[in-house]
C-alpha cells in the first residue's frame, strides 16, 4: 500500500494479540536518504559499477527491460510507443557520464520511508512496520499499547 507524503501513520516496533510496541504516531515525510550520500562506500561503489557495466554490455534489443516491455507489447498490455520510450530511456542513460550514473544509482539505494514522529524523533521504514493507525489498532483490538524509544542514534527531525 502506498501513502501520500503528509499522511498520519503509526510506527510499530512489533505487535502481538496482547501488546503493541509502538514508536508512536507521526507523519510520513517521504522516502529520504538514510545516510549521507556524498561519499559512496568503496564496496558499494564496486557493486554499482559492475551492475551498470553488466547492463551496458547488453545490446539494446537484448536488454532485460526491453525484453520485458516487448513481451507487454506482444500481449497487448503496452503499445509500441511505450516500448520506444523504454529504449529511449536506456539510450539516454547510457549517454550520461558514468560517475553521474553511479551516483544516481546509489542515491536511490539509500532511500527509505521516513516517519517524523510526534515526539520529534525520526524512525525509518526499515526499522518498523508503519501504516494507518486505525487499521492497525483494529487488527489488534485487545492489545495494550506501549510506547517504546526509537532505536539509538536515529536523531531528531532536522527539516
Is residue 116 located within the same domain as residue 103? no
Closest CA relative to residue 27, chosen from 119, 116, 122, 154? 116
Give the model's confidence band at 109: pLDDT under 50 very low, under 70 low, under 90 confident, else very high.
confident
In a domain, 95, yes or no: yes
Inter-helix orientation angle 42-57/98-109, to 10°: 120
Is residue 21 located within the same domain as residue 56? no
Question: Average pLDDT of 150-157?
Answer: 70
Looking at residue 70, the DSSP 8-state letter turns out to be H
Is residue 63 located within the same domain as residue 95? yes
DSSP per-residue letters across 123-138: EEGGGSEEE-HHHHHH
Is residue 79 located within the same domain as residue 115? no
- Rounded Cα gap, residues 86 and 27, in angstroms: 35
In a domain, 104, yes or no: yes
In a domain, 138, yes or no: yes
pLDDT of residue 117: 94
In a domain, 157, yes or no: no
Residue 108 backbone dihedrals phi, psi, to 5 degrees: -75, -25
Write the CB contacts of 19 (distance below 8 Å, at least 6 apart in sequence): 143, 144, 145, 146
pLDDT of residue 108: 84
pLDDT of residue 146: 95
Poorest-confidence range of 20-29, 86-95, 109-118?
109-118
- Rounded Cα gap, residues 107 and 90, in angstroms: 19
| Contact (Cβ atoms closer than 8 angstroms) between residue 65 and residue 50 | no
- Could you read off the pLDDT of 63-87 as tens digits, one per residue? 999 999 999 999 999 999 999 999 9
Question: Average pLDDT of 120-145?
Answer: 89
- Rounded Cα gap, residues 147 and 22, in angstroms: 5
Is residue 97 located within the same domain as residue 121? no
pLDDT of residue 54 exceeding 80, the answer is: yes
Is residue 71 located within the same domain as residue 128? no
Is residue 47 located within the same domain as residue 105? yes
Give the model's confidence band at 156: pLDDT under 50 very low, under 70 low, under 90 confident, else very high.
low
Is residue 142 located within the same domain as residue 116? yes
What total number of domains does the chain contain? 2
Is residue 105 located within the same domain as residue 116? no
Tell me the residue range of the domain where 29 lies.
Answer: 8-34+111-147
User: pTM of the full predicted structure?
Assistant: 0.63
Query: What is the C-alpha end-to-end distance of the chain, expressed in Å?
Result: 26
Is residue 13 located within the same domain as residue 29? yes
Amino acid at each position: 500500500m502506498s501513502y501520500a507524503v503528509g499522511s498520519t501513520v503509526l510506527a510499530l516496533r512489533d505487535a502481538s494479540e496482547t501488546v503493541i510496541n509502538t514508536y508512536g504516531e507521526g507523519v510520513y515525510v517521504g522516502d529520504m536518504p538514510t545516510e549521507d550520500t556524498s561519499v559512496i562506500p568503496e564496496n558499494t561503489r564496486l557493486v554499482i559499477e559492475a551492475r551498470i557495466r553488466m547492463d551496458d554490455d547488453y545490446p539494446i534489443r537484448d536488454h532485460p527491460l526491453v525484453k520485458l516491455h516487448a513481451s507487454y507489447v506482444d500481449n497487448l498490455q503496452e503499445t509500441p510507443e511505450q516500448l520506444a520510450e523504454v529504449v529511449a530511456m536506456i539510450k539516454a542513460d547510457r549517454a550520461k557520464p558514468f560517475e553521474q550514473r553511479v551516483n544516481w544509482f546509489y542515491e536511490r539505494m539509500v532511500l527509505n520511508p521516513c516517519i517524523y514522529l510526534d515526539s520529534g524523533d525520526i524512525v525509518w521504514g526499515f526499522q518498523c512496520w508503519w501504516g494507518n493507525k486505525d487499521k492497525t489498532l483494529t487488527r489488534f483490538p485487545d492489545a495494550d499499547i506501549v510506547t517504546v524509544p526509537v532505536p539509538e542514534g536515529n536523531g531528531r527531525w532536522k527539516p
